[in-house]
Amino acid sequence: MSNGFATDLTVIIPGRNEEFHAQTVEDVLSRIQADTEVISILDGDWPPNRGIDDHPRAKVVKTTTAIGQRAATNLGAQMSRAKYIMKLDAHCRMDDGFDVKMIERMQPEYTMVPQMYRLHAFDWTCNNCGWGQYQGTKPDKCEECGEDDLFKKLVWEPKWKVGPTVSWRFDSEIHFQYWNDHRKWPEVREEMKTGVVETMSCIGCCFMMERDRFLSLGGMDEGHGSWGQYGAELACKSWLSGGKMVSTTDTWSAHLFRTGNFSRKGESTFPYPLSGVDQEKARTYSRDFWRNGRWDKQVRPLSWLVEKFWPVPGWDESDLQAQKKRERSFKAAA
Q: How do residues 290-324 score in pLDDT, each as one tens digit? A: 999 999 999 999 999 999 999 999 999 999 999 99
User: In this predicted model, which residue has the larger pLDDT, 263 or 195?
Assistant: 195
pLDDT tens digits, one per residue of 175-230: 999 999 999 999 999 999 999 999 999 999 999 999 999 999 999 999 887 778 99
Please choose, from the candidates 178, 171, 243, the residue with its C-alpha nearest in 3D space to the C-alpha of residue 205. 178
User: In this predicted model, which residue has the larger pLDDT, 271 or 315?
Assistant: 315
Q: How many CB atoms lie within 10 A of CB 194?
A: 11
Three-class SS of residue 61?
Answer: strand
Q: pLDDT at position 289, please?
A: 96
What is the dihedral angle through the alpha carbons of 279, 282, 284, 285, rounded to the nearest 10 degrees?
170
Give domain 121-158's CATH architecture. Answer: Single Sheet (2.20)
Q: pLDDT at position 53, please?
A: 76
Helix (H) or strand (E) holding 201: none
Across 79-98, average pLDDT: 98
Q: Cβ distance 69 to 40 under 8 Å?
A: no
Mean pLDDT for the chain overall:
92
Is the pLDDT score of 83 beyond 90?
yes
Helix 276-291 × helix 230-240 angle, to 10°: 10
Fill in the DSSP letter of residue 303.
H
Identify the weakest region by mean pLDDT among 90-99, 115-124, 223-232: 223-232
Across 50-63, average pLDDT: 87
Q: pLDDT at position 191, please?
A: 96
Helix (H) or strand (E) holding 52: none
User: In this predicted model, which residue has the larger pLDDT, 19 or 32?
Assistant: 32
Q: pLDDT at position 272, please?
A: 58
Four-residue CA torsion sign, 3, 26, 105, 114: negative
Whole-number percent of the chain with pLDDT over 90? 80
Residue 235 Rama label (left phi>0; alpha psi -120 to 50; beta): alpha
Q: pTM value? A: 0.94
Q: pLDDT at position 273, please?
A: 58
Between CA 195 and CA 247 the distance in angstroms is: 8
Pick the CATH number of 9-120+159-326 from 1.10.260.40, 3.90.550.10, 3.40.50.10860, 3.40.50.1370: 3.90.550.10
Q: Cβ distance 145 to 129 under 8 Å?
A: yes
Is the pLDDT score of 49 beyond 60?
no
Respond yes or no on whether the N-terminal peptide bond of residue 311 is cis (omega within 30° of 0): yes
Across 39-65, average pLDDT: 84
Is the pLDDT score of 261 beyond 90?
no
Listed by start position, the domains of the chain span: 9-120+159-326, 121-158
**Please, what is the end-to-end C-alpha distance for the chain in angstroms?**
37
Q: pLDDT at position 264, please?
A: 47
Name the band, by pLDDT with cuts 50, 70 and 90, for residue 266. very low
Q: pLDDT at position 260, please?
A: 53
Q: What are residue 153's phi and psi, to 5 degrees?
A: -100, 115
Q: pLDDT at position 189, please?
A: 95
